[in-house]
């Protein structure tokens, strides 16, 4: 596993031959812009691990004679953590990368001597880690042979809580730094910002976030959008035009719903839904989403944040600006680990 982390450091290094290869591959397959790939590799790839995190990671992993990993068309760098976890579970690891978007998996497999297979055959007692949608995980679980220990790593989303009293421009800049990586496609990517206070405060935050995303977008442009994503953005925008205010930038959208009855999930393409809320609103707004929340990012502290964390107790808490930099202390997604 330490070798995987060391490899992360080489991949992050743009002057290392492996780093160059990774950049070339991810630009071709990830859909991110060249700058987006650079950001992902240099800032969001696990390239070090502390002894405490190592201990946590090992504690989170059940050892098995063999470990098989089905990787999704995940964010490009996600394969590293998935493989590190598999190596912590077993010295005999086989992976099946996504055909559509293999990310770093082929390089990691080659450099670490890990077997790559088109189909995985797990035997009783083997561990099988599945990355993908809940439906995919359920399918794999149902098809697995009896005795195979299947662990699902599903899809999810991040929620940002902007507490009362914090500087809105500072919080907006920090949140933008969490939205930009992977073009918001990660399960830790914030899709919704809940602003403690009234509609005016949420509107001020939405405007600040719009400005911050505009600034960062010039440095790290969004990758190309396919038609389905553009269509999803159009429908989201039309809904926001009806209920609130849309701040549309060249590479992002911020949608403000000043009086939310429910939350709207925006498409993952640097589109952030902003609502005002008080702690008493948390259950109504976040409750239906609680099981999907993988991380709660926060600026400041207060009753709303407490309520959000209580609703999603397995979500990773993080400071805004750190939502996409989780410690290598186990799976990114902690939901269900306590079971």
Residues forming contacts to other proteins in the complex (CB under 8 A) are: 31, 72-75, 78, 101, 131, 133-135, 153-157, 182, 184-187, 189, 191, 226-232, 234-236, 238-239, 241-244, 246, 257, 259-265, 267-269, 284, 287-289, 291-292, 332-333
Angstrom distance (rounded) from CA 34 to CA 32 = 6
- Residue 184 or residue 298: which is nearer to other proteins going by CB? 184
The answer to whether the CB of 95 falls within 8 A of the CB of 116 is yes
Q: Which is nearer to other proteins, 52 or 200 (CB)?
A: 200
Angstrom distance (rounded) from CA 202 to CA 300: 15
Cβ closest to other proteins, residue 95 vs residue 166: 95
Cβ–Cβ under 8 Å, residues 180 and 270:
yes
* Shorter beta-carbon distance to other proteins: residue 238 or 310: 238
Question: Among residues 28, 57, 55, 26, which one has the least CA distance to residue 42?
Answer: 26
> Both tokens of residue 273?
């839904």
Name the strands in the sheet holding 93-96, side by side, starting at the edge strand that comes first in the sequence.
115-116, 93-96, 67-70, 127-131, 149-153
The pair of structure tokens assigned to 159 is 């929620």
Query: By C-beta, is 186 or 217 nearer to other proteins?
Result: 186
Cβ neighbors of 320 (< 8 A, separation 6 or more) are 160, 162, 171, 174, 175, 177, 178, 297, 298, 299
CB 239 → other proteins: shortest distance, Å?
A: 4
User: Cβ of residue 207: shortest distance to other proteins, in angstroms?
Assistant: 17
Provide, rounded to whole angstroms, the least separation between the CB of residue 185 and other proteins. Answer: 3
Measured from the CB of residue 124, what is the shortest distance to other proteins in angstroms? 28
Smallest gap, in angstroms, from Cβ of residue 122 to other proteins? 22
Task: Tell me the C-alpha distance between 311 and 189, whole Å.
Answer: 18
Q: Which is nearer to other proteins, 72 or 166 (CB)?
A: 72
Nearer to other proteins, 165 or 336 (CB): 336
Collapsing DSSP to helix, strand or coil, 196 comes out as strand
- Least Å distance, CB 243 to other proteins, is 5
Least separation in angstroms between CB 91 and other proteins: 27
Backbone angles phi, psi at 203, to 5 degrees: -65, -40
């Amino acid at each position: 596993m330490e070798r995987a982390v060391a490899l992360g450091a080489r991949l992050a290094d743009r002057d290392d031959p492996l780093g160059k290869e990774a950049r070339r591959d991810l630009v071709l397959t990830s859909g991110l812009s060249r700058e987006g790939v650079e950001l992902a590799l240099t800032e969001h790839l696990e390239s070090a691990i502390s002894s405490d995190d190592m201990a946590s990671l090992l504690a989170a992993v059940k050892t098995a004679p063999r470990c098989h990993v089905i990787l999704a068309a995940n964010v490009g760098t996600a394969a590293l953590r998935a493989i590190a976890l598999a190596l912590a579970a077993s010295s005999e690891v086989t992976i099946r990368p996504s055909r559509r978007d293999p990310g770093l998996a082929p390089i990691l497999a080659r450099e670490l001597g890990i077997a790559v297979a088109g189909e995985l055959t797990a035997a009783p007692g083997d561990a099988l880690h599945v990355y993908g949608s809940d439906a995919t995980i359920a399918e794999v679980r149902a098809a697995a042979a009896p005795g195979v220990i299947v662990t699902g790593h599903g899809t999810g989303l991040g929620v940002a809580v902007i507490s009362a009293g914090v500087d809105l421009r500072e919080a907006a800049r920090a949140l933008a730094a969490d939205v930009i990586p992977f073009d918001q496609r990660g399960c830790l990517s914030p899709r919704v910002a809940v602003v403690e206070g009234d509609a005016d405060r949420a509107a001020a935050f939405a405007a600040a976030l719009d400005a911050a995303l505009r600034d960062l977008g010039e440095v790290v442009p969004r990758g190309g959008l396919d038609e389905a994503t553009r269509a999803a953005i159009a429908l989201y925008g039309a809904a926001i035009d009806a209920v609130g205010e849309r701040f549309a930038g060249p590479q992002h959208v911020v949608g403000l719903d000043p009086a939310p009855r429910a939350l709207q999930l925006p498409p993952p393409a640097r589109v952030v839904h902003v609502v005002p809320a008080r702690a008493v609103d948390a259950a109504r707004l976040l409750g239906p989403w609680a099981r999907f929340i993988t991380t709660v990012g926060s600026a400041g502290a207060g009753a709303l944040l407490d309520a959000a964390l209580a609703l999603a107790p397995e979500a990773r808490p993080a400071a805004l600006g750190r939502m996409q930099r989780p410690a290598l202390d186990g799976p990114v997604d902690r939901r269900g680990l306590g079971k």
